[in-house]
Chains A and B, each alone.
Chain A
């Protein structure tokens, strides 16, 4: 097999030096009663060329580029500058393990430190970790952390969380016996904090929310008493919007896919996690810190490891070990490439184009925005007649649009959700408007 360099002569020599006569003898410690049950897959070995053809055919059956993408809901079709893939796929980054030996992991560690800094800049927080699996598990871990700090046994969650995030959160809360109260929304699509229960460990808000609506974070922290304010957000929107940290958020999480990652059918993704400095000891996940070596030279190492499972075992703040380090590197290179100006430009393009499309669609008889609140790069439209039929028609005409069925989890009927990124051209936006029966 081409990934094994050992020759048969080597093998004979090695067996002799171990003092056994066959490879089988090396497996003599596995009970025969176990080994006799073994059944192979019935899978032949294949050449690289054959595998490339088989897997290539599967990839071709997906044809994402045949359709103009208006899908969103947490994952967006953003442009990724060429340099991002080139630099991030250097094998020194790709084939390294977790930086347990800092002297030969300065590349990974420096990038982690840069990532943590960028996350804090984006979110307006003091402290960020080196990544979580995805936005959904980052939020779940934020809730567990809030519960460790407040110990009230219950949390309140806005109804307008992305359904995939809510599903994940519900699983973690069920498993840890946390009660989840749902908070509703007002006619404009923003959260309704009026009937908030008391004695909560955390209040969880998403902005822009699943309706695309930007939540008014100002004053929210003051209204929720002793509970921690956890905000889940879209990092690209923070190129433009005031960060949650400026409104007193205690923990900010985000799905980082928008920052230069492939959509990749939803994985790997990138969980951003930021909080206040005072909560460092309760924070989950790895973190890199700056220090000096014996010669006084600046270097980076993993810090605050006494929170982590490999040291703390059952008393760790989380069980997380492998995270999304390489995705964090990609997003750091993306942010370094775009810079503050580039990220702002992306955010503006998203904002303007989404509004252009929304106005085009709502100028069609019978179509209206479901919510009056301000939105960023996606929005929900109430449609005349059968949303499923309109959806199916759009799919046939070469648009990728989310199924209205998926939006029923949010309690919405007869609606469609559209997301618009910088990649959508005016021509594509006009074509969608026309497909729905507008302009011309």
Chain B
């Protein structure tokens, strides 16, 4: 794949920016020459058509939701409505400087204020901060709030966070970054938190638990109230990872299950596009006991005017430059406004319907370790599909059939895991075709496994040498080659 650094430079570029319209003083007059760049920047000077062709070509080597089915478990790769992008690019939002006088940013502040209200309502919790910009950032902020809570109460011994063994990798990483140690709690044979194991782990060194509801197996913790009651009774707090909100939005609320912190992934549930890895938005909703500690600034409505409030003496401080990923918030706001209560409920109902429909059909072909009603996603196993064939082989073969592979090898509690989340924006025809493809691949695995080992063959590149990438990393363009 060639890069822009491989392109031949043009001689006559420029013309993007006007000539200087004030009297020139000269760079050397204004800056001590010792401070000036000695080596010219090795950024190629290209003509505009070269740039257009290069990035158009790159885009065609990508696969997005608009290209086809993207059942990436835990990532909620639903269709991203174009209205939302249009709203985010309105000049009144996109062109607004974060240090603008509040008299010129009333519309933006109103949007933040109203979205805050929507997110409080959807979570059923006391307050919300829109400042975290990703799910993991919301987790980290939540862990900072836990820390503050126990600091204020003088309970300095509460240093442990309990996590189920099915937790996302970001959970233990976030807890550790905030200075907590992590204790794993095993799941029972139903894939849910083992209440006895929880009882044993709970004591006065526990700051709280981090739960994912439904869990990463797509299973709703039917004991959720017992879990949160036990944790609260032991003096701990309950963190809810909201990655899986798409399965119960508009039908039930984290606050009603005992959550103290719940993080949203607006780039999942609220359909804002993921952009090849970001930006996202990870607002947190909190219970009453944590509301005073939320990041500053807060948006307030005073006498009909919106204002930024910095005067929150117990706040943990700021966790991002300004007010979070505002343009992502605009998209989510437009989405919620369009859906309303009815639409929010239809989203989760159809997401759950689609997942159960696929699960029911596919469990006839692939082992389903936890065979029960699922929520928005389910986890199959690629083990024992055929001798010598791995989940990775199955995933790569799916690429040849034009679908994006599911999440694989997660959660860690299922061997050779294949985690499928269809979302609500796929038709029955798409689901049927996907199931058919997985059935074909299972047959191929038995009859002609080499097809799977060689896959993909219909992709811009075939399987990449990860060993070389790890052993001898080339992480920047080798100009000297």
Contact = CB atoms under 8 A, between A and B. Distances in A.
Given A34-B252, A294-B462, A346-B17, A266 B425 contact: no
A406 B80 contact: no
Contacts of A96: 62-65, 274-276
Given A267-B320, A314-B176, A75 B3 contact: no
Interface stretch (B44-52, B198-206, B381-389, B439-447): B44-52
A30 B252 contact: yes
A110 B38 CA distance: 28
A267 B405 contact: no
Interface in A265-315: 265-269, 280, 286-295, 297-301, 303-304, 306, 308-315
Contacts of B177: 144, 175-176, 318-319
B16 A322 contact: no
Nearest to B144: A175
A9 to B, nearest CB: 9
A45 B340 contact: yes
Interface stretch (A197-205, A221-229, A236-244): A236-244
A372 interface: no
Contact of B337 (A51, A98, A422): A51
Chain A interface residue bracket vs B: 35 or more
A46 B170 CA distance: 36
Contacts of A294: 462-463, 465
Interface string B468-481: 11100111110000
A366 interface: no
B301 interface: no
Given A107-B62, A134-B321, A95 B274 contact: yes
B196 interface: no
B133 A267 contact: yes
B193 interface: no
A309 B80 contact: no
A45 B462 contact: no
Contact of B476 (A3, A127, A144, A167): A127
Contacts of B468: 291-292
A121 B43 contact: yes
B310 to A, nearest CB: 10
B91 interface: yes
A65 B13 contact: no
Contacts of B352: 23, 26-27
A349 B20 contact: yes
Contact of B347 (A4, A73, A75, A329): A4
B14 to A, nearest CB: 6
B240 interface: no
A113 B477 contact: yes
Contacts of B65: 91, 95-96
A50 to B, nearest CB: 8
Interface centre among B86, B87, B473 (most CB of A within 10 A): B473
Interface in A303-357: 303-304, 306, 308-316, 318-327, 329, 332-333, 335-346, 348-349, 351-353, 355-356
Interface string B66-106: 11001010010111110101111111111111111101111
A86 B51 CA distance: 11
Interface string B16-56: 11101111110100111011111011111110100110111
A434 interface: no
A385 interface: no
Contacts of A77: 95, 97
A71 B274 contact: no
Interface centre among A99, A110, A286 (most CB of B within 10 A): A110
B1 A93 contact: no
Contacts of B424: 3-4, 6
Contacts of B333: 55
Contacts of A255: 321
The 4 closest A-B CB pairs, nearest first, are: A326-B275, A266-B322, A266-B98, A59-B92
21 contacts: A14-B428, A23-B349, A27-B349, A45-B338, A48-B83, A54-B337, A75-B99, A79-B16, A92-B62, A113-B476, A113-B477, A117-B5, A121-B41, A167-B296, A286-B277, A301-B466, A316-B173, A325-B276, A337-B16, A374-B31, A422-B18
